[in-house]
Structure 1
Amino acid sequence: MSDNQLTGEIPALLGLLSNLKVLGFFNNSLRGNIPPSLGNLSSLERLGLTYNALSGIIPESFGRLRNLSFFTIFGNAISGIVPVPMFNLSNIRIFDIGANKIEGTLHSDLEINMPHVEFFSVGDNQISGQIPLSIFNAPNLDVLEFYDNMLDGNVPSLEKLDKLFRLELGGNHLGHGREGDLNFLCTLVNNTKLGSLSITENNFGGEFPKCISNFSSTLQALSMSYNNILGKIPDEIGNLINLEVLDLAQNQLLGPIPFDIGRLWKLNIFYAHSNFLFGTIPHSIGNLIELTELVLNFNNLQGSIPLGLGNCKNLILLDLSHNNLSGPIPPEILGLSSLSIVLSLSSNSLTGELPVEVEKLKNLGQLDVSHNRLSGLLPNNLGSCVSLVELYLEGNLFEGPIPPYLSSLRGLEALDASNNNLSCGIQKFLVRFGTLKYLNLSFNNFEGVIPSEGVFKNTSAIFVEGNNKLCGGIPELHLSRCNSKTSSKTSLKLKITIIVVISGVTLVFSILLIIWFRKKKERKPTVTHVENSLLRLSYQSILRATNEFSPQNLVGLGGFGYVYKGILEVNGAVIAVKVLNLLNHRASRSFLVECEALKNIRHRNLVKVLTAISGIDYQGNDFKVLVYEFMENGSLEDWLHSSVGMNEPETMRNLNFIQRVNVAVDVAHALEYLHHRCETPIIHCDLKPSNVLLDGEMVGHISDFGLAKILSGDKLNYSTNESSSLGLRGTIGYAPPEYGTESELSTNGDVYSYGILLLEMLTGKRPTNERFKEGLSLHNFVKAALPNRVVEIIDPILLQESVRGGTIADITLNGNNLGNDEYLQCLNSIFKIGLTCSAKSPSERMDMSDVVTKLCSIRDKLLRPTRLYRGIRTAYDAKPTGNNVLLS
């Protein structure tokens, strides 16, 4: 009965099924104790209770299950100790009690009589003592896991385990911090099947064993970080030609990085940070074309950054900070468009300017070049790094102004440009950065009036000391008042501005009068406007605004028309112009529906319609246009799936987790308004990512009401004919299943579409993904993974995202870090909302008012401050070191 939604307790009466051989309850929501009566099932061969919420202890009676060959209770909350007789179930092949709360003390002479065991795991519990010697007498062992317990002492010889593929000993207190601790590793040299070895986070000392170079070439992962290992990395490490992960971080390793590291052509991840490595970074490292993460910070490496790193086209994270590297930043490094998490070159002795190739880092989340000797102007191209969340430039010799093109970095949360020679005024666009939480401009040469809005209102987020020519701002900044000279200049500018504006208005009015008299004699298009419109536009003004509907201004197209970006001549305002394709016979009705739906509704999360035009063009053809506010950050579709926009270069734009939650809340507020707060309820009928637009502050707005339905005040249901007057409502994948069976339209249909949208935002998968076939859907895909396998379904981009000192991947895999449980609960809660909203039956779906309440509550938990912002500097390194202190 695995992979269902079973709740309650396991019935004790199952213990009466004397002939039962297999009992499986994998991946449900069962609670309570494991019934001791199951110990009466003398014929039982397989018992699987993985991924539930079971508590209590392992019953003593299980020691009598002599036929048991498969036993797994992984991922529950079971406590107590393991009954000793269970270690003598001689038919056991799979024994997995990992990820529970099991206690007890093992001792080295404990008899474990499992001659056929292949998989033995007690990992992620609270077991103390020593590793029993007897477990190493199991010749068929394939996987052996003792990770994340409290075991100590020495590790015995492993020479009898010649079939061992994976050994996990990390997260204990093994070793004594001295020579000889790692002797057990050399007993593995004759093993020809070893694939993964992890001894991280222990107390192992002594020299790095040279025998590791003689391990089988089948080894794919070697993790030895967070120990006290001495010596140098052996030159022969290059013999392990199939190695994909090499983690040697946080030890006491000395000497250079071996040149032969370049032979590990399959290497994906190389961590050697927080050691005492010296010498140059070997240029052979450029041979590692599969490398995705390279972290060498906090060492004593010298010389220049190898140009060959530019060959590593798959790098997503590169950290060379806190070394003694010198010379310029190679343009080849900044040309790695694959970099999407961190590029940190801080605290070195790099010189020269910041190369203009920085514009290629369009996907990068954090750029840190602080505390070097970089000079010159900040390049305008820096504004092309549209995905930047954190930008650290402090402690250099940069000069000139902050480039105005940085105004495109609308997702920026931290900007530090302190301790440079920057000058001119503080750019006003910083006020509009709604996500900015940390801004340090101190100790530069900025001058003029400091703003008092946006981030500049928050004294805990803004730092401007050491700029003696700044004035004004909020009183808490204790800056001098702007002097009379400044005020006089301001007054003079104001007077000049008023005169220019009055003259300009007079001139424009005169020209308009002349044009009006001339046009009176000509035939012109008739124009009608939405009631209470803010603009009164003509066909001619729309034509000019869009450069005669130039293809370069085309930003989107749909079933009923085309959308152009336009700039009004009269005031320079940017607008979005939807031109209806009247060759489609349903476009005219769509126009009327959208006008009717939008004319009396106003909400911050609905795209605002400015006017509507219905008439004829200069050729006498019918012409219908809707004019909206322009949303400069495009659609949610573009951000979720990194699509190539119309006539735009290919860019990778990613929303972080909090931004996705914010957009989900915005869309929920809009739907709740349409369903419950309008004079007559409105059903959108076509909610999907391409119809959710993002403004300059990354606020979500629902658009495109061409399929909307306004519910009559006295009747909420309609005939089939009325409901289907525009054909099938919605888009495949997002339209609720009942609309395909000629069911009446209802607000429940929008709720279904919202649920699918929410699941898509967190998984990064469209409901029409090619893997969703033969009964599998996005809904079922998510449902099968909750609550314990979130890491398998979440958008891979979010797995790398910095969250409270670690990554979302850390949180979903390891619940021991501070705040992780709460964060994981939030993830699961949002997924559950999406599942409930996208339930097949309309009656099971949530009301949008409840969705808003629950999502806002979850967002409040996520945004609850846990530490100073600058504490989150190394997203991939959740464990603080002496040189990397996190402030709480």
Structure 2
Amino acid sequence: MQLLTTYMVRSQQKFATIFLISRGFTFQTMDFQGKYHIHCLMQLDLKFSLSFNSFTGNVPADLGSLRNLTKVTFSYNQLQTRPDGLSFVTDLTNCTKLQLLDFGHNKFKGEIPASIANFTNTLHILLLGSNQITGNIPPEIENLNGLQLLTIYNNSISGEIPYGIGKLRNLMDLSLWGNRISGPIPSSLGNATQLLKVQLQENHLEGNIPLSLGQCRQLLLLALSDNNLNDTIPKEVIGLSSLCIIFDVARNFLTGPLPLEVGNMSKIVDVDLSNNRLTGEIPTTLSQCLMLQYLDMAGNLFEGGIPPSLRTLNGLQYLNLSRNRLSGQIPIYFKNFTMLEMLDLSFNSLEGEVPQEGIFIDTKRISIIGNKELCGGIKELGLPACKVHNTKKRRKLPKLKVSITVTVLFFIMLTCLIVVVYWRRKSATRPSTALPTEERFLKVSYAELRQATDEFSPSNLIGQGSHSSVYRGILDGNQLVAVKVLNLRQKGALKSFLAECEALRNIRHRNLVNIITVCSSIDFTGAEFKALIYDLMQNGSLEQWLHSSENQSDMPKLTLIQRLDIAIDVAFALEYLHHHCQTSIIHGDLKPSNVLLDHDMVAHVCDFGLARFLCGSTNLDASQCQASSSGLKGTIGYIAPEYGLGSTSSLLGDMYSFGILLLETFTGITPTDVMFKDKWTLHQFVKAALLEGTKILDPSLLSSEHLAGINGGQSGDVDKVRLEEGVAAVLRIGVLCSEELPVERMDMVNALSELCAVREKFLRHGM
């Protein structure tokens, strides 16, 4: 029987804890009075912790005789090297169970012995930081197959990083900063795809940043500052969406423009690009890094103006753009950055008036020296007053110009009068509660959309369908939009465009995507151009959350309540379209990719390219009704079975699509999965599972992490049963909505009511 014994030992007014798991041994004395030694500790399973004390002396030579050691931590002491160097590492190679070795923050000297490789599979953590270790990192380190954490920072290590370090496929944290390491960063490092943190700053590294680091798709932190790196910043690396803590390449010799892919680091907190030789303009895509708190771009060759799009970065606490070649005016939006503690715009070529609000009233928090054309601002800045243009001095127009102006104004007024009369007559024949188009929609040109999407750059492409492509863009410098560009060469695209315009013209609901405006024009080649502009939904589509690809493996799974909320949001949207519009609208293509999620994870139904008005409505033109029912339209797996037999579009057809979406949301299985063949469908699969009591819930909802969040982490068997019963109720609703015969399907009013009842029951039980 194992006996756990804990010994508390005093050393210079501090305590160390030694955990001993004994198997019938005789414990003898230990002397911890400034120095220590071990006389006889044999046949132990031992976790040895002496960290955070002031022990001096050497590591005892017979420590390796404790063959059952699993963890040894001597960090934060003043231990020194024996005359034979770091040979105590060799002594420990007999400890075949050793998982953790921590000698950090001591006074060890010498080189890391090649015998470190003897810990082939067992050693997970090796901590040697903050010592006086010299020499090279032994190439044999590549044999530590189980190594997850390697820190040798703040020593005097020299030589190159061994190329074989990329063989450490389990490595998650590599910290070699503060040494004298030279040579290139090995391209093989990208093979260690489990890496979360890479810290190589304060060395003598040279060459480029390897493209292969872009393969580390879980990387959270990358610090390469204070080296001799050159060449450009690879878009494959700065475009890693996983980077969310630090991207630091300061004080190197990097050149070229900052890649547009910088916007992919949408969760990054700290970006330091200072003191390099970066050129070009500040990319507008930087505005997508909404979590940024620290941004330093000082000491480069950036030019052009400060982009208006950066107004989205209102969480910044530190912004340094000094010592560049920036021109134009200081953006007025900086005054609204309430979190900003320091703003440095010094030594650029900025001009115009300095704002007098927000951070600009505190001279200790801003620096604008070295911009010779600035004026105004608070008096403490000592800048010259801005010139005021005298608007009273006007040249008198010649009589001919006055006559022409009066004539033109007359014709304009006459035209306006005709338009008003025509509009009133049209309104009288077709009453509407909607606002006039001029008040509701912006006027946007092709050129503006081209600029907003960076010339429809592939890096801004967020979706693509048979009839259109959707791009992320920024209008008016601060409005995030999604621009749906129609592919008019595709058959049916124009019809889809007109259908979507007609459907969205007068409908408004919190769970429908909000259309901002449309653009019908010609592009720069003279070809016809049509686009719809919507509010950008920052959390993507439901499909992305349910079936994230390898590129999105870091995307968290939806919780049960989130899935239920999304389903209810979609139900509210369809209930509105079916029962509360002037003319009932059939969506016609409901599926997870057409359900978008905003920043608060509220669902919005989109894509009305196949929308139809309900035939038989008194307000529906006969030709519209006929067009509505021609042909099989929709997406395989979500189309109601009767559509394949020639039936017209109907509200119950939407109900079938909603039922399948509901089943997919809670099982995580797509209706087009390879398992569904020979007329076997997702509906039949779930229906059979409910009858047989088979558990088909998405496995992520029954994970320990999910269950730990129920009732404040106090979930038990009762909670798990309630969860399964609640999900079964939701799945039954999905089955009833997707019955094969339309007359057997539940309508949206009842489906919405039952889903709300399920959610109320979940919340009542704290789930």
**TM-score surpassing 0.5?**
yes
| 2:212 matches 1:280 | no
Matches within 5 A, 1:657-696: none
Aligned residues: 508
Give 1:369's aligned residue: 273
> C-alpha displacement at 1:551, in angstroms?
8.8
Q: Could you list the per-position Cα deviations for residues 436-468 of structure 1 after superposition, in whole angstroms to 9, with x for gaps in the alignment?
A: 332211100000111222332333332211111
Kept in 2, the 8 Å contact 1:553–1:564? The answer is no
Kept in 1, the 8 Å contact 2:23–2:44? The answer is yes
Give 2:488's aligned residue: none
Alignment equivalent of 1:461, drawn from 362, 365, 369: 365
Q: Could you list the per-position Cα deviations for residues 362-410 of structure 1 after superposition, in whole angstroms to 9, with x for gaps in the alignment?
A: 3322221110111222223333333333221100111111122323334
Q: Are residues 507 and 449 of structure 1, via their aligned partners in 2, closer, same or farther at CA, if it must alter by over 3 Å?
A: farther
Q: Are residues 777 and 558 of structure 1, via their aligned partners in 2, closer, same or farther at CA, if it must alter by over 3 Å?
A: farther
> C-alpha displacement at 1:520, in angstroms?
6.2
> C-alpha displacement at 1:190, in angstroms?
1.8
Q: Are residues 150 and 415 of structure 1, via their aligned partners in 2, closer, same or farther at CA, if it must alter by over 3 Å?
A: same
Q: Are residues 273 and 205 of structure 1, via their aligned partners in 2, closer, same or farther at CA, if it must alter by over 3 Å?
A: same
Kept in 1, the 8 Å contact 2:5–2:19? The answer is no
Give 2:66's aligned residue: 161
Q: Could you list the per-position Cα deviations for residues 466-517 of structure 1 after superposition, in whole angstroms to 9, with x for gaps in the alignment?
A: 1110111222322221124xx448999xxxxxx9xx9999899857853564
| 2:335 matches 1:431 | yes
Give 2:435's aligned residue: 537
Q: TM-score, normalised by structure 2?
A: 0.56
Alignment equivalent of 2:78, drawn from 159, 168, 173: 173
Alignment equivalent of 1:524, drawn from 422, 431, 454: 431
**What secondary structure sits across from 2:166 in the alignment?**
helix
Which one-letter code corresponds to 1:474 in the other structure?
Answer: I
| 2:289 matches 1:385 | yes
- Identical amino acids, percent of aligned pairs: 32
Give 1:400's aligned residue: 304
CA distance in 1, matches of 2:37, 2:119: 24
Alignment equivalent of 2:712, drawn from 770, 775, 780: 780
CA distance in 2, matches of 1:129, 1:552: 85
CA distance in 1, matches of 2:411, 2:101: 76
Structure 1 vs Structure 2 CA RMSD: 5.1
> C-alpha displacement at 1:579, in angstroms?
12
Unpaired runs of 5+ in structure 1? Answer: 1-68, 70-90, 121-126, 493-498, 528-535, 589-613, 622-631, 648-767, 785-837, 843-888
CA distance in 1, matches of 2:393, 2:130: 63
**What secondary structure sits across from 2:263 in the alignment?**
helix
Q: Are residues 490 and 475 of structure 1, via their aligned partners in 2, closer, same or farther at CA, if it must alter by over 3 Å?
A: farther
Matches within 5 A, 1:603-618: 617=582
| 2:134 matches 1:230 | yes
Give 1:807's aligned residue: none
CA distance in 2, matches of 1:481, 1:586: 58
CA distance in 2, matches of 1:579, 1:524: 29
Give 1:636's aligned residue: 600
Alignment equivalent of 1:415, drawn from 313, 319, 328: 319
> C-alpha displacement at 1:644, in angstroms?
11
Give 2:4's aligned residue: 93
CA distance in 2, matches of 1:451, 1:477: 11
Kept in 1, the 8 Å contact 2:223–2:249? The answer is yes
Give 2:702's aligned residue: 770
Matches within 5 A, 1:302-317: 302-317=206-221
Q: TM-score, normalised by structure 1?
A: 0.49
Matches within 5 A, 1:503-582: 513-514=420-421, 517-519=424-426, 521-525=428-432, 527=433, 537=435, 550=500, 562=512, 564-566=514-516
Unpaired runs of 5+ in structure 2? Answer: 395-404, 444-481, 483-496, 520-532, 537-568, 586-595, 608-699, 717-761
CA distance in 2, matches of 1:374, 1:775: 48
Q: Are residues 146 and 453 of structure 1, via their aligned partners in 2, closer, same or farther at CA, if it must alter by over 3 Å?
A: same
CA distance in 2, matches of 1:330, 1:96: 53
CA distance in 1, matches of 2:275, 2:393: 41
**What secondary structure sits across from 1:780 in the alignment?**
helix
Kept in 2, the 8 Å contact 1:553–1:566? The answer is no
**What secondary structure sits across from 1:351 in the alignment?**
strand
Kept in 2, the 8 Å contact 1:128–1:150? The answer is no
CA distance in 1, matches of 2:141, 2:176: 14
**What secondary structure sits across from 1:357 in the alignment?**
helix
Matches within 5 A, 1:196-235: 196-235=100-139
Q: Are residues 481 and 559 of structure 1, via their aligned partners in 2, closer, same or farther at CA, if it must alter by over 3 Å?
A: closer
Which one-letter code corresponds to 1:137 in the other structure?
Answer: L
CA distance in 2, matches of 1:490, 1:637: 54
Kept in 2, the 8 Å contact 1:93–1:116? The answer is no
Which one-letter code corresponds to 2:122 in the other structure?
Answer: T
CA distance in 2, matches of 1:491, 1:550: 52
Matches within 5 A, 1:21-420: 92-95=3-6, 115-116=22-23, 129-134=34-39, 137-156=41-60, 157-175=62-80, 180=84, 182-420=86-324
CA distance in 2, matches of 1:771, 1:558: 39
Q: Could you list the per-position Cα deviations for residues 852-887 of structure 1 after superposition, in whole angstroms to 9, with x for gaps in the alignment?
A: xxxxxxxxxxxxxxxxxxxxxxxxxxxxxxxxxxxx
CA distance in 2, matches of 1:490, 1:279: 68
> C-alpha displacement at 1:416, in angstroms?
1.1
Q: Could you list the per-position Cα deviations for residues 77-115 of structure 1 after superposition, in whole angstroms to 9, with x for gaps in the alignment?
A: xxxxxxxxxxxxxx84242769xx9985789xx999985
**What secondary structure sits across from 1:129 in the alignment?**
coil
> C-alpha displacement at 1:271, in angstroms?
0.4
**What secondary structure sits across from 2:702 in the alignment?**
coil
**What secondary structure sits across from 2:278 in the alignment?**
strand
Q: Could you list the per-position Cα deviations for residues 30-68 of structure 1 after superposition, in whole angstroms to 9, with x for gaps in the alignment?
A: xxxxxxxxxxxxxxxxxxxxxxxxxxxxxxxxxxxxxxx
> C-alpha displacement at 1:347, in angstroms?
0.2
CA distance in 2, matches of 1:462, 1:553: 51
> C-alpha displacement at 1:582, in angstroms?
9.3
> C-alpha displacement at 1:185, in angstroms?
1.8
Q: Are residues 326 and 520 of structure 1, via their aligned partners in 2, closer, same or farther at CA, if it must alter by over 3 Å?
A: closer
Give 1:123's aligned residue: none
CA distance in 2, matches of 1:490, 1:195: 83
Kept in 1, the 8 Å contact 2:187–2:212? The answer is yes
Q: Could you list the per-position Cα deviations for residues 414-451 of structure 1 after superposition, in whole angstroms to 9, with x for gaps in the alignment?
A: 22110011111122333333333322111000001112
CA distance in 2, matches of 1:344, 1:552: 50
Kept in 1, the 8 Å contact 2:232–2:257? The answer is yes
